[in-house]
Structure 1
Amino acid sequence: MSSSSRVALVTGGERGLGAAAAKALRDAGFEVAASYLGGDKADAFHKATGIPVFEWDVSDFDACGAGIARVEEELGPIDVLVNNAGVNKDRMLHKMDRADWDAVIDVDLGSMFNMCRHIIPGMRKREYGRVINISSVNAANGQAGQTNYCAAKAGVEGFTRALARESVFKGITVNAISPGYVETAMVTAMPQKIIDNIVAQIPVGRLGQPDEIAHWVRLLASEDAGFVTGATFPINGGLRMG
């Protein structure tokens, strides 16, 4: 089956890395849907790209089930899932509220279960699937003020390896991408002094671009990626090597 017959869903797909991934998959011939929650970019994204958008909270298990059902009713069974949606609520642990911890864990890690639990059974039945989870360089590096975010993203990588082992015999690959610092709204909202300090630590000497991450999403979603599973791809400009 060619990519033009495959359906891909990108969570948090209307902005930043998600938008780049959704457009890359569309350009590769996939039927693409993007989920989002709130904000004012979804309508503009849909008008600009033609990619249908669906609103739900990925931290809500039942909302994920209902949202996935809407996508499949409109586009067909989901063959490619890109778990990209995420939030950050940075604060040193001794000042962090439990609500800030829970919000990041529930969205960045809990959504992995919420989305995959609803989609994996269909992939297993059809004996085909691609699951691509977005982690972060800070899952391995650690970062002050991000105990919640780093814990969640490290969990994403463990989740990826375990689900890969469960799914490989059903024709499903499960991989993660671990981006470094990429020029998105989340990063560019930081003070310029902090951005300059980050760039000074990146061997290639610049922030990454969303399209550079989207290239790897497209590759892992392809028919040609059937021999790679349980892997985490560090796309970080050399910030973390080895």
Structure 2
Amino acid sequence: MSVEKQGKSPEIRELIQSHRSIRKFKNKDISWEIIEDLVESARWAPSSHNVQAYSIIAIQDQETKNKLSELCGNQVYIARCPVFFVFAADFYRHSLVSMKHGTPFEMEETENLIVGAVDTALAAQNFLLTARSYGLGGVMIGGIRNEAEKVAELLDFPKWTVPIMGMCLGYPDQHPWQKPRMVKEAVLHKERYQKDKLEDQMQSYEEITEEYYTNRTNGVKTSGWGKQMSVYLSTPRRPELTSFIKKQGFTLK
């Protein structure tokens, strides 16, 4: 059966606006043909200056998934999903062509890391949207950066590569609630950044998210987005990541 006939293809707008993170999957394999088609969509994501500074590692080996689950903060769905993907910012290929052509390889600036991270994120989003058109579901895993150096060692990453995000993927075995997003008025600014009504708009979102979490958890969790973010950002996050990134060649000048 051709790739085109293996899955459904809902409207792209519907796919985007119905996003949910899926963490529970059916015991059903994803064909390699589908995986290759997902990569094809990733390959056609926008890329700054056509740098294409990313790579995708597909992991089906159970032992490797178990180890990655531990390294990502014991997120059990990594071990349980049919395939786990690691999306990495990757300038290793670029180092090879620079060497081949005898040109300097200037990677010190922070700009290069940003380009790699953006390229990787755009590719990952294309990948996930295409996966959903096949009836698959997934969740992005920022925890791949918890122990970035150990992840790199486990997956044999060369210099000039940094894991940016992981992705669990499979056929959904749940239909979770959809989390409300920031109110549109606080996101869309006309002509300039408009601060005047921002606090009121954020308060509106706070009330929406308080109600959402209260209903979803039957009152166990009642704090809204603002309160959660204030706690989330109150302590340093992954301070060792910077030293690993520098070790990989990105000195962030």
> Does TM, normalized by the shorter one, top 0.5?
no
Structure of larger gyration radius: 2
**TM-score with structure 2 length normalisation?**
0.28
